[in-house]
Amino acid sequence: MSNSSTSGLPQETASELFIDKTTLLSPILTGVAYGMLVVLVCQTLLLFKDARRKPLKSQRSWVFIAYVLLIFTLATIAFAMGTRLAQLTFVENKDFPGGPGAYVFSMNASIPVLTADSAYVIMSWLADGLMLWRFTLIYGDNRWLALFPGAIYLGSVASSILFLTTIAQTGSILSVQAANFALSYWSLTISLNIILALAIAGRILYMRHQIHTALGEIHSKNSLYISVAAIIIESAALTAVWSLAFIICYPRNTVWNILISPMGQITGISPVLILFRVARGRAWTASTMKEATSGTLEFNHDTSLNARGTETHEDGTATSSSIPVDPGHKFAIVGNHSEAKGSSSSQWEETKV
């Protein structure tokens, strides 16, 4: 029978081999996430380039372009440092005692790791800041609601700075002090992501319910602003779900090292996805909220519809509506919905946009 000395397997325990495998998977998944980010950044920048031709959107487009380029630059730096660490781990130091996993842990305070961690932390500041802005925008006049998530945001920034400083001083991410600051930072930023994701998704679902009640199911599904894709992207659900999986695995010391590097790239993907919708004119804006609350919202339809009339229900209530729809173009339905005892009525008219 063959043993580890003749089969080519390293002289490591099963747990050490498992760490080696997960250490290899992490840069692979990071590369996949980075590739997705590159494609998304290119598409978003092209859309904003076209938007700059419109005078009213030119100045704002420059801000968004700068934001996307900064996210991309930080993601590229982090990916380059991660690639360099993988080269050191699996090529130049492949015979390190304890295996690749042990080598990576020994490099926690090295320049590649600290540079990548710093880039990812700054990306999280930018991503969380954008989500706070989207939160205040979607909730409109209720901006005082942002005080609590704003405090969490400031706490996450402070704890992340202490986290990076401690790693540089102690030379290990697994030291007690570094682990405490790491848990504080990750807990705060992940909690912030989950809170904002639920709050934004809840607000959009509420608007979806309002439109469903007033116009019916077809309109609540076809709106540009309240579709399932809109809810997932606007709430940055991808970041929230991935981060939640990481924070669950980290204290258990299981597969967290698979998730941590891709999490940095995904942190950059979510805000760029939102700005991609902004560039396409499909993201929520302050005017969108006013339109939604006043009875005006944009829809997409591929089929023609021209319904007009009054429907009388068995309980004596009546609903009257007029919803002309032309195929193949965007339009807004403008109108009102009123209810009285024993009856209800809706009046709508189409406005091209």
Integer-rounded Cα radius of gyration of the chain: 25
Three-state secondary-structure class, residue 339: strand
Any idea what DSSP says for residue 255? Answer: S
Q: Are 183 and 173 in contact (CB under 8 A)?
A: no
Average pLDDT score, the chain: 75
Q: Bin 94: left if φ > 0, else alpha if -120 < ψ < 50, else beta.
A: alpha
271 pLDDT band, cuts 50/70/90, is: very high
Please give the Cα distance from 28 to 86 (Å, whole number): 10
* Residue 180 vs residues 6, 160, 163, 166: alpha-carbon distances, Å: 43, 11, 8, 10
* Mean local confidence (pLDDT), 175-188: 83
Q: What is the 3-state secondary structure (H, E, C) of 279-325?
A: HCCCCCCHHHHHHHHHCCEEECCCCCEEEEEEEECCCCCEEEEEEEE
pLDDT digits over 28-69, tens only? Answer: 999 999 999 999 999 999 988 876 666 545 567 888 999 999
Which tokens go with 102? 């042990």
Q: What pLDDT shows up at residue 149?
A: 93
pLDDT of 23 above 70: yes
Beta bridge mates, 305: 325
Domain boundaries of the chain, sorted by first residue: 12-293, 301-352
Residue 284 has pLDDT above 70, yes or no: no
pLDDT band at 70 (very low <50, low <70, confident <90, very high): very high
8 Å CB contact between 320 and 310: yes
Q: Are 167 and 117 in contact (CB under 8 A)?
A: yes
Residue 124 tokens read as 């999280």
Confirm if 181 and 163 have CB atoms less than 8 A apart: yes
Residue 228 CB neighbour total at 10 angstroms? 10
Percent of the chain's residues with pLDDT above 90: 26
Q: How high is the pLDDT of residue 145?
A: 86
- The predicted model scores a pTM of 0.73
pLDDT of res. 182: 83
How high is the pLDDT of residue 280?
82
Q: Are 258 and 82 in contact (CB under 8 A)?
A: no
Can you tell me the distance from the alpha carbon of 331 to that of 201, in angstroms, rounded to the nearest whole number? 24
Beta bridge partners of 188: none
Is the distance from CB of 127 to CB of 270 less than 8 angstroms?
A: yes
> Would you tell me which CATH number, out of the four given (3.40.50, 3.50.30, 3.30.1490, 1.20.1070), belongs to the domain 12-293?
1.20.1070
pLDDT of residue 226: 55
- What tokens does 79 get? 């990916």
For residue 264, how many other CB atoms are within 10 A of its CB?
23
What integer is the mean pLDDT of 244-270? 83
Angle at 144 between CA 143 and CA 150, to 5 degrees: 90
Calculate the alpha carbon distances from 231 to 32, 292, 322, 337 in Å. 24, 15, 28, 25
| Average pLDDT, integer, range 191-206 | 86
CB atoms within 10 A of CB 272: 24
Query: Between the CA of residue 129 and those of 111, 193, 284, what are the distances in Å?
Result: 27, 10, 16
Q: How far apart are CA 21 and CA 297, in angstroms?
A: 50
Between 228 and 223, the more confident residue is: 228
DSSP code for 223: B
- Report CA 55 to chain centroid distance, whole Å: 29
In this predicted model, what pLDDT tens digit does every residue of 111-160 receive, in sequence order?
888 899 899 999 999 999 999 998 888 887 677 888 999 999 999 999 99
| C-alpha–C-alpha distance, residues 48 and 8, integer Å | 53
More confident residue, 58 or 257: 257
pLDDT greater at residue 300 or residue 100:
100
